[in-house]
Structure 1
Amino acid sequence: MSNFNSFINTLTKGSQNIENVQSMGTAKSLKIILLGPSLLQQGGISNYEKLFLEYAPSEVQICHIVTHEEGTTAFKIIVFLNAVWKFLWMLINEEVDIIQLEISQRGSVLRQGIMTFLAWIFHKPIIIHAHGSQFHIFYAELAKWMQYLLNWVFCKCQRLIVLSESWKNFYIENLGLKPEQVVVFYNPVKVPAEVPHRSLSKKLNLLFLGRIGKRKGAFDLIKAFSLLPTEYQTTSSLIMAGDGDIEQARNLVTTLNLEDYITLPGWIGSDKRDILLTQANIFVLPSYNEGLPLAMLEAMACELAVIVTPVGGIPEIVTHSENGLIVNPGDVQQLSDAIKSLIENETLRLSLGSKARTSVFALDIKNHWFSFLDLYHSVLNSDAQ
């Protein structure tokens, strides 16, 4: 976990720098335009934006412009055109310090690419925050001329924020960004002050949070649960909350005769999510591709033992048998064995959960904002030179 430790050291220095600036009375109010999806939208970026905006310090004024909202194609176009109009009006009429764009892949790249170009025309400092879990696949499928165009757009930013060292290496090697342009900010999490006691649980609750489908390993998880001994199935339950291919998942549950043990409630709000995290004993996310899943970090902050895969930024946070269990994507038997080991070994389950919680303290949203304040001032200082 050397990359993670390096991040912690950088975080500590950043918070000290901000405190020094504030203690001298020179903290400047910053005006940021944040371009990203609707806060009402389902997904990781929207959840991140809500947490980011909720904890924004008083010295930062953020105008959130919605560039995407779920609906018909015509509705999405109207939302985006409205965002372009509002963005241009602010660029022309208001003092703006930094443009920050939340980006994933596919349509998001097109929308935010246009916004990046407009910000560049107006000579505004640009920060792109990349969240895409499958950006590498999307990029590889593009025609060469589209890759060159995308490279040109990305290189116009002062900083590109990525979710892990592995993603940093990808963007530098493939999109031509300079190493000093790319910074790693692990996703933040709101760490609860208290967590429930989970020892001597009579029934164990397994929890999956995320889009139901192949990418998140939802079907693998259902199959892995079916391989558990009957006595473990009857003393356990699995809740799989999220949108996506819910009917396909329910059909698989029915085919495997697991209706009494597996529940698929669909997408849930943050309040219900927090309740499920409190009631759970084990969190499972057997993904094939990830950035750095917020759901996993939330589970770790709630002191849950986690079973995950070594994709995206996950192996920079989770070390096998230390603060979680890691299984290979698509290995259903290995996944089932990992679940079985945590069901039958309470000591291991509680130990992994305790260490998981401790390991994400540094990722608390307040520390995340220290890093962002340091980044904002760094960008503005370099731009002024």
Structure 2
Amino acid sequence: MKSQVKILFVITQGFWGGAQKYITDLAGNLGPNYELAVALGNDESKDFEKKLKATNPNIAIYPLKHLKREISPLHDILAIAEIRQLYKKLGPNIIHLNSSKAGILGSLAKIPQSKIIYTAHGWVFLEPLSPIRKTLYRFLEKYTACYKDAIIVLSDEDRRVAKLELHIEDSKLHTIPLGISEILFLDKNEARRQIAEKNPHIDTNKLWSLSIANYYPTKGLDILVEAVSTLSPEEQSKFQFCIIGDGPERTRLQTDINLNHLENTIFLLPFIEKAAALLKAADLFILPSRKEGLPYAILEALQADLPLIATKVGGIPSILQNTPETALIAPEAPRELTSAIQKFLLTNRVEKKREYSMNTLSAMIEETTALYQMYS
């Protein structure tokens, strides 16, 4: 009988987002031929751990005391030693690194007997960082690429950046787009009712724009606030902009909303479990990100058959290019976003199911499994 392949996933933090969903999807679908473990930094809420255990009760979870999202020389050095010690203890066949910080430190901790696969969920140096941090991250991604045996990118655009800016050889790069399974959507009225329970000021009779995005600078939600503030009072009165998520920028975003007197137009809602099931509540989906890999939210909005406005970053154009009822705009362009919203208001939507190429979870699992087999 063939022995199980030992895989250790490493991720910077447990705060629920795209990278955490990615690991959870893999952990729940790899099957009995794999022995799985996850090492992660901060997970105060334990949400990620609970989701992992619900998906795969046999998965082992190891907290990493020194792995932090922010740059911290002392903690970073200690994290490398902590991660290497875990590698030696577990002896995994494959170490699958996720997120930039874990990708860098986890590579520097490499041990000879394990192969390292890294999934780049968008390149960190494309985020809105200071020039010094951008330069540092670009250097570290380029330098640590030599420690990685394979790098998974989520789109052709991320592959292009890897080759041109990081000078990573093409043979090391593997384009495996994210995939999702079929979503059981609530009908429009029920979805609106459940969302409106989160804030009594939401008007269920207006047009709704929905965004599912955590409150980080990369998501460009401040650009959405600025764009909505330049709509005319009449245009604002027709719309409710609901944002579902959580994160450190929440207070600042709410301050911007209040300063622009948009408290009854833009609503910051808390994190909602399985928020994608509520997408039918919306008439429009907006994702104004500054940086992305390949966001799950776009795949989910497409499956919900919603009109979309999104930025031309990461893998988004590869999905939405030539897709009906979508508007691709530049990042950090509030005027373009305003114009796209105004155009939507003037458009009479034809209720017709769009044709598009669906990124399936089964395809993602199959291609990732093939890569694991190649390196185990």
TM-score (norm 2): 0.76
Quick one: which amino acid aligns to residue 370 of structure 1?
A: E
* Greater Cα shift, 333-342 or 136-145: 136-145
1: CA distance between counterparts of 2:272 and 2:81? 29
Please name the residue that 1:327 is paired with.
329
Q: What whole-Å deviation, never above 9, does each CA across 1:254-293 have from its counterpart, x for those lacking one?
A: 2222111211124x0433x235423222111112222122
* Greater Cα shift, 202-211 or 139-148: 139-148
Note the C-alpha offset of 1:325. 1.1
Q: Name the % identity.
A: 21
1:246 counterpart = 2:250: yes
Please name the residue that 1:305 is paired with.
307
Q: What whole-Å deviation, never above 9, does each CA across 1:76-121 have from its counterpart, x for those lacking one?
A: 5588766543332111xxxx432211132xx434422333x23xx2
Matched ranges for 1:179-198 at <5 A: 179-193=170-184, 196=187
Note the C-alpha offset of 1:49. 1.6
1: CA distance between counterparts of 2:66 and 2:167? 35
Please name the residue that 2:296 is paired with.
294
Please name the residue that 1:87 is paired with.
87
Note the C-alpha offset of 1:182. 0.3
Q: Unaligned stretches of 5+ in structure 1? A: 1-25, 381-385
Note the C-alpha offset of 1:368. 0.8
Q: 2:366 aligns with which of 344, 365, 370?
A: 370
Q: Unaligned stretches of 5+ in structure 2? A: 46-63, 69-74, 190-203
Note the C-alpha offset of 1:69. 4.1
Please name the residue that 1:51 is paired with.
25
2: CA distance between counterparts of 1:178 and 1:340? 44
1: CA distance between counterparts of 2:2 and 2:178? 25
Q: What whole-Å deviation, never above 9, does each CA across 1:24-62 have from its counterpart, x for those lacking one?
A: xx9974332222245x41332112222222333333332
Please name the residue that 2:98 is paired with.
102
Please name the residue that 2:356 is paired with.
359
Change (3 A) 1:257 1:169: same
Please name the residue that 2:161 is paired with.
170
Quick one: which amino acid aligns to residue 11 of structure 2?
A: G
Please name the residue that 2:5 is paired with.
30
1:124 counterpart = 2:127: no
The answer (yes or no) to whether the contact 1:213–1:219 under 8 Å persists in 2 is no
Note the C-alpha offset of 1:365. 1.2
2: CA distance between counterparts of 1:246 and 1:313? 26
Quick one: which amino acid aligns to residue 356 of structure 2?
A: S
What secondary structure sits across from 1:239 in the alignment? strand
Number of aligned positions between the proteins? 334
Quick one: which amino acid aligns to residue 222 of structure 2?
A: F
Change (3 A) 1:173 1:220: closer
1:220 counterpart = 2:220: no
Note the C-alpha offset of 1:158. 2.4
Quick one: which amino acid aligns to residue 278 of structure 1?
A: K
What secondary structure sits across from 1:290 in the alignment? coil
The answer (yes or no) to whether the contact 1:190–1:301 under 8 Å persists in 2 is no
What secondary structure sits across from 1:317 in the alignment? helix
Please name the residue that 2:201 is paired with.
none
2: CA distance between counterparts of 1:178 and 1:74? 31
Please name the residue that 1:337 is paired with.
339
The answer (yes or no) to whether the contact 2:185–2:280 under 8 Å persists in 1 is no
Change (3 A) 1:68 1:176: farther
Quick one: which amino acid aligns to residue 370 of structure 2?
A: D
Quick one: which amino acid aligns to residue 134 of structure 1?
A: V
Change (3 A) 1:154 1:255: same
What secondary structure sits across from 2:87 in the alignment? helix
2: CA distance between counterparts of 1:139 and 1:113? 24
What secondary structure sits across from 1:56 in the alignment? coil
Structure having the higher helix fraction is: 1
Change (3 A) 1:346 1:134: farther
2: CA distance between counterparts of 1:333 and 1:139? 24
Please name the residue that 2:72 is paired with.
none
Change (3 A) 1:162 1:323: farther
State the Cα RMSD in Å. Answer: 3.4
What secondary structure sits across from 1:371 in the alignment? helix
2: CA distance between counterparts of 1:234 and 1:279? 18
2: CA distance between counterparts of 1:145 and 1:204? 44
1: CA distance between counterparts of 2:268 and 2:141? 39
Change (3 A) 1:136 1:227: closer
2: CA distance between counterparts of 1:145 and 1:250? 32
2: CA distance between counterparts of 1:360 and 1:136? 27
